[in-house]
Amino acid sequence: MSTCRICAGAVTEFLDLGRQPLSDAFRLPDDPSEEFFYRLAVGVCGTCSMVQLMEEVPRERMFHQDYPYVSQGSSVMRAHFRAAAERFLAAGASFIVELGCNDGTMLRVVAEAGVRHLGVEPSGAVADLAAAAGVRVRKDFFEEATAREIRAADGPADVIYAANTLCHIPYMGSILRGVDALLADDGVFVFEDPYLGDIVERTSFDQIYDEHFFLFSARSVDEMARRHGLELVDVERLPVHGGEVRYTLARPGARPRTSAVDELLAAEADLASRTTLDGFASRVQKIRSDLVTLLTDLRERGERVVGYGATAKSATITNLCGIGPDLVEFISDTTPAKQHRLAPGSGIPVRPPADFAADYPPYALLFAWNHAEEIMAKETAFRESGGKWIVYVPEVRVIG
């Protein structure tokens, strides 16, 4: 049992994913330091229904100068963020603040339009990429104190936006007090994160890792907003990252609540129930044993398997299943800051895509399954060489 980070209610554990490393800590092969591990387990609050990790990793261990993830690695995500920026601009926003702006993939569109903005980003190297792209960025963790300083210096924000960032932040009280301090009276706080409903439906349990402290639903976000003097006024389901929801919060009465909110709330009637979550946990165990069986069989037959996409998500599955370099030769990844390093916990080497293309393996294990369409569309030569994809969401399957 632990205490809910939203409402202080009792959180009951429903899934233990074991000892896990930091999902984005790609290590140099000769790094002599001891690797950090924590217990990855997830539970649900009996009061507000928020699904959350049982243990919290200190933020500075995850987000620092060398944080490697960049948003620009997917063409689908670049288009997604361009569309988000264009929508804010079309609505007439004159000051847009983004939490976790990363390499500035969204805000560079705002900067190009000449509209006032600020990115708040604690991870140094990615913040530098944003600045180099013409984005105004503050290297800091967003929290109440940061928000008050921004408000004093820059005035109220029409839009506060956070993609794949809010669910990373356990200290939610400070964040929402900060939003209250910074948001214009008729402003909107818009955030999008992996959706609990999709995670349960697809058994995409690899969305659970250190950085994803919360798995949001309309119900839990509605409760969270209300407890902090805000109102959930809109929800929109997004196809990106394996299924997300974009939530819009506003000050009470400032905006009408759309029917989409009530529809999603109604569809979630059983989502946080013990039966649903226990069913999810037992499907996780099936995926785990199916995948280990498949990879072990392939090894016994002498077949090569290469991983595709050194995702943060892959840390959960490799470490849960005990998949190491004996089962997956290396992982191909486009991110310079991950290449020539070892994947966390598993020690699987990460190599540039050229190494994948130089000698196509018969099997590629698709760790970046959320980008399947984009990846399969461009990896035609792999398929033509006879290559087959292995996926494990929503179940273990060989394609080809």
| Alpha carbon distance 314, 126 (integer Å) | 21
126 interface partner picked from ligand JHZ, ligand SAH, Zn ion, none, CB below 5 to 8 A per type: ligand SAH
- Can you tell me whether residue 276 is helix, strand or coil? helix
Cβ distance to ligand JHZ smaller for residue 206 or 223? 206
Cβ distance to ligand JHZ smaller for residue 91 or 357? 357
Does the protein bind ligand JHZ through residue 73 (CB under 6 A)?
A: yes
Q: Which of 169, 190, 196, 272 binds ligand SAH (CB under 6 A)?
A: 169
Q: Chain centroid to CA 22: how far?
A: 14
Single-letter code of the amino acid located at 8: A
43 interface partner picked from Zn ion, ligand SAH, ligand JHZ, none, CB below 5 to 8 A per type: none
What is the helix (H) or strand (E) element at residue 350, kind and residue range?
strand 350-351
176 interface partner picked from Zn ion, ligand SAH, ligand JHZ, none, CB below 5 to 8 A per type: none
Does the protein bind ligand SAH through residue 121 (CB under 6 A)?
A: yes
Structure tokens at 379: 């990896």
Cβ distance to ligand JHZ smaller for residue 183 or 291? 291
Q: Which of 15, 22, 45, 127 binds Zn ion (CB under 5 A)?
A: 45
Does the protein bind ligand JHZ through residue 192 (CB under 6 A)?
A: no
- Whether 233 and 258 have beta carbons less than 8 Å apart is answered as yes
Give the strand pairing for 363-366 and 231-238: unpaired
- Whether 213 and 59 have beta carbons less than 8 Å apart is answered as no
Please state the closest distance from residue 99 (CB atom) to ligand SAH, in A: 4
Q: Does residue 394 have a cis bond before it (omega within 30 degrees)?
A: yes
Using the contact rule CB under 6 A, the part of the chain among 35-43, 99-107, 273-281, 316-324 near ligand SAH is 99-107
| Alpha carbon distance 291, 85 (integer Å) | 39
Residue in the structure block whose two tokens are 């980008």: 371
Does the protein bind ligand JHZ through residue 189 (CB under 6 A)?
A: no
* Residue 203 region by backbone torsions, left for phi larger than 0, else alpha for psi between -120 and 50, else beta: left
Using the contact rule CB under 6 A, the part of the chain among 177-185, 249-257, 267-275, 368-376 near ligand JHZ is 368-376
Cβ distance to ligand JHZ smaller for residue 158 or 193? 193
Does the protein bind ligand JHZ through residue 105 (CB under 6 A)?
A: no
Please state the closest distance from residue 376 (CB atom) to ligand SAH, in A: 21
CA Rg, the chain, in Å?
A: 21
Residue number of the CB atom closest to ligand SAH: 100
- Whether 248 and 238 have beta carbons less than 8 Å apart is answered as no
Does the protein bind ligand JHZ through residue 204 (CB under 6 A)?
A: no
- Can you tell me whether residue 74 is helix, strand or coil? coil
Q: Which of 333, 345, 365, 396 binds ligand JHZ (CB under 6 A)?
A: 333
Using the contact rule CB under 6 A, the part of the chain among 43-51, 195-203, 245-253, 329-337 near ligand JHZ is 329-337
The helix-helix angle for 144-154 and 172-182 (nearest 10°) equals 10
Q: List the x/- string, 131-160, binding to ligand SAH by CB under 6 A.
A: ----------xxx-----------------
- Whether 194 and 393 have beta carbons less than 8 Å apart is answered as no
- Residues 6 or more apart whose Cβ sits within 8 Å of residue 60: none
What is the helix (H) or strand (E) element at residue 222, kind and residue range?
helix 218-227
Cβ distance to ligand SAH smaller for residue 106 or 323? 106
The helix-helix angle for 218-227 and 172-182 (nearest 10°) equals 60
| Alpha carbon distance 292, 311 (integer Å) | 19
121 interface partner picked from ligand SAH, Zn ion, ligand JHZ, none, CB below 5 to 8 A per type: ligand SAH
What is the helix (H) or strand (E) element at residue 270, kind and residue range?
none
Cβ distance to ligand SAH smaller for residue 64 or 383? 64
Please state the closest distance from residue 327 (CB atom) to ligand SAH, in A: 28
Does the protein bind ligand SAH through residue 163 (CB under 6 A)?
A: yes
| Alpha carbon distance 344, 66 (integer Å) | 14
- Give the footprint of ligand SAH on this chain (CB under 6 A): 59, 63, 67, 69, 71, 99-100, 102, 120-123, 126, 141-143, 163-165, 168-169
Binding site for ligand JHZ (CB under 6 A): 69, 73-74, 164, 211, 241, 309-313, 333-335, 338, 368, 370-371, 374-375
